[in-house]
Amino acid sequence: MVPEIERAVALLRQGELVAFPTETVYGLGADASNPVAVAKIFAAKGRPADHPLIVHVPGAEHLQRWAREIPETAYALAKVFWPGPLTLILKRRPEVLDAITGGQDTVGLRVPNHPLALELLKAFNGGIAAPSANRFGRISPTTAQHVRDELGDAVAMILDGGPCQVGIESTIVDLTGARATILRPGMVSAIDLGRVLGRTPSAGASGAPRVSGSLEAHYAPRTPLALLQPDVVIFAVRESLAANERLGVIAPMPCPLSDERIVWRQIAGEPAPFAHDIYALLRELDGLNCTRIVVQKPPQAENWSGINDRLRRAEAGSGNT
């Protein structure tokens, strides 16, 4: 075992927090069966206590340690999408901590697809509770440096696995009802899930505190953010120049002018590379004292649904310093 994994496992066993990379975003990990350790997550993030945490496990064979009455659909989805950016909501086993489930009868489980995360989980051989390693309501971290900037000394160790490949949080699908329901869209789409389930899952009601990602003011930069249609972006640029303001822009086309007041970041026009870059770019622009950040609205298509969800929330929650 590499020494840093050994150290991370030892810290987890001691009830300390270890941040680690996953393919989606960095997680703030704690031993999911240790109430003192789990309490440290909420303290470090400033997260309300009734918001449940995802338990990360090394493989689908661990499901029964945390969940009961597991439907066949869970194993079918696990087989296709794990390790990967999909979280399953299942009925919990009674011994799962209330702090993990938010006192609900369900538990969220995921096998992340990152070599360091998998090595850590296998060596730990248990469940690691991990929310995204950001302060509550802020943009999720996709590099180890982001985690340092967000949480600094609140975490005992940060495993650095480079930039996250997927870049936005996992799709969350609830399998406890008669029909599978997507509680949080992500890069595994409803269509992808429907192919395995034989029926497209329904979209869950947002706004409920069950999923903290469903609060409107989430994934938000401090700088006011506007999502604009492609043809309006250039007007925003002109307006901003006229007002002599500094504007941040994230758009798929190259910057049409050269002016130091316009901080332009070109982003891919395809969902996968867009998701990969968007949080890091928002974080960067948020640190540059722009008056406003403009993001060109992606297409309203199914394979963009996770991205559009996060952008909408970023817009809704932005500007709160």
Contact 146, 166 (CB under 8 A): no
In three-state secondary structure terms, 114 is coil
What minimum distance in Å lies between the beta carbon of 45 and ligand TXA? 8
Torsion of Cα atoms, 228 then 232 then 238 then 239, to 10°: -60
| 127 is a contact residue toward ligand TXA (CB under 6 A) | no
Greatest CA separation found in the chain? 62
Contact 175, 153 (CB under 8 A): no
What minimum distance in Å lies between the beta carbon of 109 and ligand TXA? 9
Nearer to Mg ion (CB atom), residue 213 or residue 248: 213
**Which among 16, 24, 76 has a CA at the least distance from the CA of 54?**
24
What minimum distance in Å lies between the beta carbon of 10 and ligand TXA? 21
194 vs 201: CA distance, rounded Å: 6
Among 12, 16, 19, 27, binds ligand TXA (CB under 6 A): 27
47 vs 59: CA distance, rounded Å: 28
What is the pattern of x (binds ligand TXA, CB under 6 A) and - over residues 43-72? --------xxxx------------------
Residues 207-226 that bind ligand TXA (CB under 6 A): 210-213
192 vs 105: CA distance, rounded Å: 27
Q: How many residues bind ligand TXA (CB under 6 A)?
A: 28
Nearer to ligand TXA (CB atom), residue 116 or residue 130: 130
Contact 167, 67 (CB under 8 A): no
Q: Which does 112 bind (CB under 5 to 8 A by kind): ligand TXA, Mg ion, none?
A: ligand TXA
Binding positions for ligand TXA, rule: CB under 6 A: 22, 24-25, 27, 51-54, 87, 89, 101, 104, 106-108, 110, 112, 130-132, 169-170, 172, 183, 210-213
Q: Which residues bind Mg ion (CB under 5 A)?
A: 132
